[in-house]
């Protein structure tokens, strides 16, 4: 009798939708992973961690933005340089090259908030490539002060693209010596938030 009961239970479980098994939601991408590009700028690896969570859920190619002339390591020095770049409109040349960007339909764009603005290297990327007709999906980490004008700037620089609602979470606070924090319980929380965000955008089921 017990063997028959066990067989019945296993049969019923096998017939359940995948999303309900073990009470764990299972995400499935709704776009072709080969047409997904995840571009990110990350100084303390928090934005990189979010980019990797996105890739885990939707697949795609992961690309880190690097400059021909890297920013200084000293925090105050980089802040001063970015303030000057924002004031003058200077766009730092990128070392990163992306071939055949036209083959991607969905581009995730990740960055930290710098001076309550979109970081200059990300502006360089948006200026360098023609993203017309693509879906642009911004995501952000910040020190607790939010996205500032960064998401609005992405929309302004991509007038011929469809810019979807972005995701933002608190990362490190480099000013206070707090660096990589997207780990442990914070990483688990971020994974759940990212999955829900991707579902809301209909990029996964």
What is the pLDDT at residue 6?
45
- Domain assignment present for 9: no
- Domain assignment present for 10: no
- Domain assignment present for 1: no
Largest CA distance in the chain: 80
The range of the structural domain enclosing residue 153 comes to 21-200
The conformational region for residue 35 under phi > 0 = left, psi -120 to 50 = alpha, else beta, is: alpha
pTM, two decimals, is 0.85
- Domain assignment present for 161: yes
- Domain assignment present for 111: yes
What is the pLDDT at residue 26?
53
Query: The CATH number of the domain where 41 resides is what?
Result: 3.40.50.360
The conformational region for residue 100 under phi > 0 = left, psi -120 to 50 = alpha, else beta, is: left
Q: What is the pLDDT along the chain (205 residues), one digit of tens a residue?
A: 445 544 444 444 444 444 443 444 455 667 899 999 999 999 999 999 999 999 999 999 999 999 999 999 999 999 999 999 999 999 999 999 999 999 999 999 999 999 999 999 999 999 999 999 999 999 999 999 999 999 999 999 999 999 999 999 999 999 999 999 999 999 999 999 999 999 999 999 8
- Domain assignment present for 129: yes
- Domain assignment present for 55: yes
- Domain assignment present for 4: no
- Total domains in the chain come to 1
| Rounded Cα gap, residues 103 and 184, in angstroms | 35
DSSP lists the bridge partners of residue 108 as 38, 137
Tracing tokens 């070392």 back to the chain, one arrives at 95
DSSP lists the bridge partners of residue 94 as 67
């Amino acid at each position: 009798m017990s063997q028959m009961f066990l067989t019945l239970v296993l049969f019923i479980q096998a017939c359940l939708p995948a999303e309900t098994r073990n009470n764990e939601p299972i995400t499935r991408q709704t776009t072709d992973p080969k047409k997904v590009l995840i571009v990110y700028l990350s100084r303390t690896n928090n934005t990189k961690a979010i980019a990797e969570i996105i890739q885990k859920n939707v697949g795609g190619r992961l690309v880190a933005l690097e400059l021909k002339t890297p920013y200084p390591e000293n925090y105050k020095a980089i802040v001063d340089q970015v303030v000057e770049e924002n004031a003058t409109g200077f766009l730092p040349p990128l070392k990163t090259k992306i071939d055949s960007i036209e083959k991607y339909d969905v581009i995730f764009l990740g960055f930290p908030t710098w001076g309550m603005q979109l970081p200059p290297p990300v502006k360089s990327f948006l200026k360098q490539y023609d993203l017309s007709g693509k879906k642009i999906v911004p995501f952000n980490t910040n020190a607790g002060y939010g996205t500032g004008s960064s998401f609005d700037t992405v929309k302004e620089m991509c007038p011929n693209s469809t810019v979807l609602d972005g995701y933002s979470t608190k990362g490190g606070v480099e000013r206070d010596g707090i660096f990589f924090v997207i780990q442990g319980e914070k990483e688990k929380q971020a994974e759940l938030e990212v999955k829900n965000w991707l579902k809301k955008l209909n990029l996964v089921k």
